[in-house]
Amino acid sequence: MVNTIENIADQAKTFADLELQTYLSNLSSDQKSAFIASQINNAIVTVKSEKEFKFTDASDVIKGLDRDISSTMYYISRTNDLKNMADDVDSLTAAQLTTLESNKDLSIRQHEINEWSNSNKLDTLFFLQLLFVTLSFIAVLLFLKTLGLVSGYLFTLLTTVSGALLIFTLIVRYKYSVLGRDTRYWSKSRHPHQDPPAS
């Protein structure tokens, strides 16, 4: 079918060429010159119009490409802006995470310091209460001695024993706090390092 159409087109072209030759052979030389001039003018007009069409088409394509390049540059610029913004957010987030981690460590350590200090104050308060009780006991004994209800020997004995217990409590507390108590955790004790037993 395609070959048939091509054959018909070739035959039509051949007939058109033969008809043109026949027509040209019947013309005078002036008519031939006029015909050739008109054909040249037609060819020039056709070429000119085709060139103008192609130039306009190429110009439109170039304008479109220019718009595409401008849009692409705009998108690249916006992408760089967004990337820089994301980098800034990442940097800020990393700095905040570092600060939070540092603050967390500081708050944990501050809690340990506060716990140790408060427990130390409570221990000191216990000793001061013990001192108050001992001094109150000695004052009552002294009052009873002045009334003659307690002998001097018993007063001296009880005063010495209660004072000795108070001083013993003070020494034990001081030695444990300085030598035995952990400096970081109040509720822990320090023990000398021992090597594990040999297997």
- 143: domain range? 7-180
Compute the mean pLDDT over every residue in the chain, rounded to the nearest whole number: 79
Residue 102 lies in a domain: yes
- Cross-strand partners of 189: 181
Residue 193 lies in a domain: no
Residue 188 lies in a domain: no
The yes-or-no verdict on residue 3 having pLDDT over 70 is no
Least trusted range by pLDDT, from 12-16, 94-98, 154-158: 12-16
Residue 88 lies in a domain: yes
Question: Tens digit of pLDDT for each residue in 17-43?
Answer: 666 666 666 666 666 677 677 777 777
User: pTM for this structure?
Assistant: 0.46
Percent of the chain with pLDDT over 70: 77
CB contact at 8 A, 32 and 24: yes
The yes-or-no verdict on residue 113 having pLDDT over 90 is no
- Per-residue pLDDT band for 132 (boundaries 50, 70, 90) equals very high
The yes-or-no verdict on residue 6 having pLDDT over 80 is no
The yes-or-no verdict on residue 186 having pLDDT over 90 is no
| Residue written as token pair 């040999």 | 198
Residue 95's pLDDT is 81
What is the mean predicted confidence (pLDDT) over 131-157?
90
Residue 157's pLDDT is 92
Residue 154 lies in a domain: yes
Residue 2 lies in a domain: no
The yes-or-no verdict on residue 80 having pLDDT over 80 is yes
Q: Provide φ and ψ at 108, rounded to 5°.
A: -65, -45
What is the mean predicted confidence (pLDDT) over 172-183?
79
Cα separation, 47 vs 36, in Å, equals: 16
Encoded tokens for 127: 């000793």
CB contact at 8 A, 150 and 84: no
> What would the 3-class secondary structure string for 130-152 be?
HHHHHHHHHHHHHHHHHHCCCCH
Reported as half-sphere exposure (CB side, CA atoms, 13 A), residue 199 has a value of 0
Residue 159's pLDDT is 93
Percent of the chain with pLDDT over 90: 13
Looking at the 3D structure of the chain, how many domains does it have?
Answer: 1
Residue 176 lies in a domain: yes
Residue 197 lies in a domain: no
181 SS3 class: strand
